[in-house]
Amino acid sequence: MIRPILFFVLAIAAVAIAACGNQVTPDPPNAGPGGLSPGYMSLKFDVLGPMNFQTYRYLFAFNTTGNGQTPLTNTLATNWSAYTFSVQAGGTNVGTNAEAFQFLHSVCCKSQQPAYLPLLTVPSQFQYVPNSNGTGTEFTVVFQPLIFSGVATPAPGTTAPPVAPIWLFNAFVAQPDESANLQFVDWLGTTGTIFQSPQLDIRKPFDQVIFGLSAPPPSDAAAQIVSVEIANNPAATPAP
């Protein structure tokens, strides 16, 4: 069953971001988890069948606030408090490239659905590989976590999300309609509201694989999450 959920798009002109990348360079000599250079994080998203970027949007949703909440599909019940940033690929109004977004929450009305704003990046900060396993069932994004800090000044009446060192996340397959509303189709938990994210301490190196567990899974193999992988190689801390 498809779970409907609505994202309000901020009423501003669309901003294109430089988020393209066609290849990943060889691992540097000091590569960390996932073959990453210091200061980079990688996201891998795998589904059962070849990805359908025209029909579905594949996204990672992050909670960087430190409030301990995992992004789930019960967003209205939780006042969207687990959504601060996302990385998305495919789907109507997003295109076949990947993009990073900042969620903007209303100051006056906590239950109001947040707007989301594309983050401006350059290729050295954000690189997208649409067919990273050669079979069409995986994409990879390599980016600097610092793109989630120093974000754009929020619009009047909204707040910019805080960025704590411990992040929580979830991964979703969603189906946008003509109005850019999203209907969640698959997720990492057994249901859209049952999943506890591992704690991602972005100050430390890690490489974690999480498998999709939805029951029953979507009938379309292009929408069925097999696994996601998140790796991080933090920048070296300068000596005192």
Name the pTM for this structure: 0.83
- Tell me: the pLDDT tens digits for 124-161? 999 999 999 999 999 999 999 999 986 666 666 767 77
What is the b/e burial string over 190-224, where b = at least 16 CB atoms within 10 angstroms of the residue's CB?
eebeebebeebebeeebeeebebebeebbebebbb
Instruction: Give me the pLDDT at residue 65, please.
Output: 93
Domain ranges of the chain: 3-12+33-233
**Cα 107 from Cα 1, distance rounded (Å):** 33
CA distances 63 to 41, 178, 184, Å, are: 15, 27, 18
- Tell me: the pLDDT tens digits for 181-212? 678 999 999 999 999 999 999 999 999 999 99
**Cα 230 from Cα 215, distance rounded (Å):** 23
Instruction: Give me the pLDDT at residue 19, please.
Output: 36
